[in-house]
Amino acid sequence: MFFRSNGSTGLCYSCPNRHFRFCKSLLNGSSAEFDAHAVKNIAVIAKQYLYRQGDMNNELLVLREGWVMLTRVSDDGKRQVFRSVLPGELLGFQQHFHGPAIYSAIALVDSVLCKVPNSVEYYSTQPELALSLATSEACDKMLTEMYLGNITHRKARERIAFMALEIYHRLMLRGLNNEYTIQFPLKQEDIADTLGLTTIHVNRTLHAFRDEGVLQIHKHQLTILDYEVLYALAGSRFEFGPI
Amino acid sequence: MFFRSNGSTGLCYSCPNRHFRFCKSLLNGSSAEFDAHAVKNIAVIAKQYLYRQGDMNNELLVLREGWVMLTRVSDDGKRQVFRSVLPGELLGFQQHFHGPAIYSAIALVDSVLCKVPNSVEYYSTQPELALSLATSEACDKMLTEMYLGNITHRKARERIAFMALEIYHRLMLRGLNNEYTIQFPLKQEDIADTLGLTTIHVNRTLHAFRDEGVLQIHKHQLTILDYEVLYALAGSRFEFGPI
DNA sequence: CGTAAAGTTGAATTCTTTCAAACACGGTGG
DNA sequence: CCACCGTGTTTGAAAGAATTCAACTTTACG
């Protein structure tokens, strides 16, 4: 009702088929086309790193099930969480195919991934796939820009409201929600490092949201109690441009 | 000395040939290859909008000369500056080829741009170009992520130091610097809207930098007075990953 | 059941914003 | 040539938001 469920009638920053075209069929249960391209599957357990910042052996991966978080620790020891990677999304592509990774990728829950061929030669012969790759990167860029706009000039409760709705939205498009509840493996510290706040302030704000009956996070489950209030706080950032 | 001048020996978020391969030859003066692909040139004057947020008639453009800034005004009236587009860089690509623009593009100085074919059909037949497009988007994404990391958890002087060096670096790679001085058309308000600060606080911080002999902005010229101090403040964010 | 990890709370401090006003500068027209 | 005007910059004082530091409670897990 608030979110549009596909990108056909307007601009939608994250639709299930936002990445490789074959991801769509993958998500729909038919993985024949996907298997034709994929090299092999990987299963990882919670808290396991897929790769770490600086690693050279980069691979292009698609997340099939689970939850992956992209983080980077800077020189001063502070940690930046860039984003969460949700099922059907791509991770691991960067400017230099075999350069060092900018950030680490860690699985927050038991996950299943799929390696995808990653070489200039391969994509040069597959124009549609290369174009899908460009589209995928454009989506990631837009998501990052949305977070940039969310953090810039905005207060803690607005930032948190945005983040909660953004992730809820993205999961909902994949049918991974249960009414207004989603699985949410992020710690308060992760939220803080995503939004540029301290863990303490995130805690206080979440506490206030709970008291006000707006939002609740309990036992790795996030429940939206008052969608309208959250949406107003988030500032309609889910619809870039006119509908 | 601090910055590496190309992307061959390590990870460089912004090298002159970061975008379409033919941009490189363009920058080097030989534009034959470029002209073969390009549709036509456009000259715009300072303060002219190339397109505005919500516009549907999107075009893929390459900036040949000048300075373009990408901005968006959100519902609450606040303005977000996403980034500056410098000569040789691409702008206008997004997930949906003919969807509404997320942000406005405005030329800050007299500029020259070049239209590039922008259709699924065109790129489907040109795998190398599509791959260049993906690489270009990956570069933009990295730049946005750097700014995200810069704003998150960092104080005003660190943010400003980073921004000054980042832009200086990007211009230097194109040979558009004069020793430690660059042309800098951004107003203090633009810096504020880029970094999530108020104009007033930017002003105070710049004033302090000038007094300390670190950085100076005068008459649209930015001069780095103490590189070492700025670099320390910026936090080595120019080299993602190990050298 | 004990230890570590995650979450919670309070008080003081720091950074940044807000509001209000003045100043500098370039361009315009009389 | 000078007054005028708008834009952009500068400054001060008060208020507000978020951080820091420290301690405590609860939860998760072997």
Q: Are residues B116 and B224 in the same domain?
A: no
- In angstroms, the separation between the Cα of residue A139 and the nearest Cα of chain B is 6
Q: Residue A66 domain-assigned?
A: yes
pLDDT band at residue B238 using 50, 70 and 90 as cut-offs: low
The answer to whether the beta carbon of residue A207 comes closer than 7 angstroms to any atom of strand C is yes
Q: Are residues B137 and B158 in the same domain?
A: no
Q: Residue B6 domain-assigned?
A: no
Please identify, among B141, B176, B205, the residue that sits at the C-terminal boundary of a domain.
B141
Q: Are residues B79 and B31 in the same domain?
A: yes
Q: Residues 112 to 141 of B: which have CB under 8 A from any A CB?
A: 120, 123-128, 130-131, 133-141
Domain of residue B114: give its range. Answer: 21-141
In tens digits, what is the pLDDT along chain A, a chain of 243 residues?
333 333 222 233 444 334 444 444 344 334 455 555 555 788 999 999 999 988 887 788 889 899 999 999 988 888 999 999 999 888 888 877 777 888 999 999 999 998 887 777 777 777 778 888 888 888 899 999 999 999 998 999 999 999 999 999 899 888 888 889 999 999 999 999 999 999 999 999 999 999 999 999 998 999 999 999 999 888 766 654 222
Q: What is the CATH number of the domain that holds B30?
A: 2.60.120.10
Tokens 């590496």 label which residue? Answer: B4
Give the pairing of strands A79-85 and A215-218. Answer: unpaired
Q: Are residues B67 and B173 in the same domain?
A: no
Give the per-residue pLDDT at A50.
93
Q: Are residues B118 and B169 in the same domain?
A: no
Q: Are residues B44 and B119 in the same domain?
A: yes
Give the per-residue pLDDT at B173.
86
Exposed / middle / buried, residue A76 (Cβ in 10 Å: 0-12, 13-18, 19+): exposed
Among the residue ranges A5-14, A152-161, B99-108, B114-123, the one predicted with the least confidence is A5-14
The answer to whether the beta carbon of residue A199 comes closer than 7 angstroms to any atom of strand C is yes
Over 60: is that where the pLDDT of B10 sits? Answer: no
| Count of domains for chain B | 2
CA distance B180 to B165: 10
The widest CA-to-CA distance across chain A, in whole angstroms, is: 57
Residue A231 dihedral angles phi and psi, to the nearest 5°: -65, -40
Over 90: is that where the pLDDT of B234 sits? Answer: no
CB contact under 8 A, B123 and A101: no
Give the per-residue pLDDT at A69.
96
Q: What's the rounded mean pLDDT across residues B75-101?
A: 86
CB contact under 8 A, B193 and A152: yes
Q: Are residues B70 and B98 in the same domain?
A: yes
Q: Are residues B122 and B46 in the same domain?
A: yes
Q: What's the rounded mean pLDDT across residues B35-61?
A: 80
Q: What is the pTM of this model?
A: 0.86
Closest by alpha carbon to A98, among B127, B8, B182, B41? Answer: B8
Give the per-residue pLDDT at A28.
39
Q: Are residues B80 and B101 in the same domain?
A: yes
Q: What is the CATH number of the domain that holds B175?
A: 1.10.10.10
Q: Residue B117 domain-assigned?
A: yes
Q: Residues 168 to 227 of A: which have CB under 8 A from any B CB?
A: 193-196
Q: Residue B146 domain-assigned?
A: no
Give the per-residue pLDDT at B114.
87
Q: What's the rounded mean pLDDT across residues B46-69?
A: 88
Give the per-residue pLDDT at A6.
31
Over 90: is that where the pLDDT of B105 sits? Answer: yes
Q: Which residue has better confidence, B65 or A59?
A: B65
Q: Residue A112 domain-assigned?
A: yes
Which nucleotide has its C1' atom closest to residue B217's CA?
Answer: D9
Q: Residue B7 domain-assigned?
A: no
